[in-house]
Amino acid sequence: MYLLKFGYDGTKFDSFSFEKNRYTVLGEILKILKEYNISDNVYTSSRTDRNVSAIGNVIGIISSDNINKIMGILNSKTKYMLFHSYAIVENDFKPRYAKERWYRYFLFNRNFNIDEMEKKATQFIGEHDFSNFSRKDERKSVRKIFKIEIKSDDDFIIIDVRGQSFLWNMVRRIIGFLAYGEGDPYSNVSRYIVPAENLVLMDVIYDFNFKTLPVNKNFLKDYWKIRTSLFIYREFNKISEGRWGIEPQ
């Protein structure tokens, strides 16, 4: 199995997961893979919410084709995506069982008190029941957060949230509480959820490294036009220049 690490501008798609007659991230990938007889199935690592973007999401495919050919076809035939790294694993590997996921949120700074936000953030570190911070589904609601880091960057506050796995809307509701909530975060259902457009899945981390392939800058030509993709464009530009790497593990 090839694990393909890729990014995308989530604001350009109806959703991440495959939906009939909808323009989705997974649907576009699968369409190209089938059209070029590369693979007829895709194994997902992280299904991001609608309008959430990514720098380092991961999918798995089983194919006998050369990895350079696969990455080249995907980069030339898909829009608003960039495939930049890969790893080779056993065919029965489950991409969803990652060691860590790293999300970053760009919160417009309306004179928020960062010290107070950092104090609130400590309440989320560790293992907790996040049923009050997610949309209800069939999954278990206990999750573990490793770290939350908050820093100021010009007009924005950048919030990095790291954990093994997350529930639907969970990161956005946590950010909403850090910005606007008060008291015990687990006593009531979270009333605040921040917009999805400023959330980016930065990386999905495993116990092994990915190899980054050279990227043609022509694949990046659309990104500078899109407001919410400015950060993504800058990061992809680093990849194309060979200055992007996996976070220390």
Residue 169 in contact with residue 191, Cβ under 8 Å? no
Q: How confident is the model at residue 5 (pLDDT cuts 50, 70, 90)?
A: very high
For residue 37, what are the β-bridge partners? none
Instruction: Let me know whether 105 and 167 are in one domain.
Output: yes
Instruction: Let me know whether 156 and 90 are in one domain.
Output: no
Q: Residue 245 domain-assigned?
A: no
Count of domains forming the chain: 2
Residue 51 has pLDDT above 80, yes or no: yes
Question: Residue 120: which residues within 8 A CB-CB, separation 6 or more?
Answer: 177, 178, 181, 185
Instruction: Let me know whether 192 and 212 are in one domain.
Output: no
Q: Residue 189 domain-assigned?
A: yes
Instruction: Let me know whether 179 and 105 are in one domain.
Output: yes
Query: pTM, whole model, 2 decimals?
Result: 0.85
C-alpha distances out from residue 65 to 1, 4, 70, 81, Å: 11, 13, 7, 21
Q: Residue 28 domain-assigned?
A: yes
165 lies in which domain range? Answer: 100-200
Q: What is the CATH number of the domain that holds 77?
A: 3.30.70.580
Instruction: Let me know whether 34 and 78 are in one domain.
Output: yes
Instruction: Let me know whether 63 and 109 are in one domain.
Output: no
Residue 75 has pLDDT above 70, yes or no: yes
List the one residue out of 198, 195, 199, 175 whose CA is nearest residue 185. Answer: 175
Instruction: Let me know whether 114 and 192 are in one domain.
Output: yes
245 against 52, higher pLDDT: 52
Run of H or E including 25: helix 25-35
Instruction: Let me know whether 153 and 166 are in one domain.
Output: yes
How does pLDDT run across 138-167, given as a tens digit for each residue?
A: 678 898 999 999 998 877 899 999 999 998
Q: How confident is the model at residue 247 (pLDDT cuts 50, 70, 90)?
A: very low
List, by residue number, the catalytic residues. Answer: 49
Half-sphere exposure of 206 (CA within 13 A, CB side): 23
16 against 189, higher pLDDT: 16
Q: What is the CATH number of the domain that holds 191?
A: 3.30.70.660
Q: Residue 246 domain-assigned?
A: no
Q: How confident is the model at residue 108 (pLDDT cuts 50, 70, 90)?
A: confident
Instruction: Let me know whether 12 and 58 are in one domain.
Output: yes
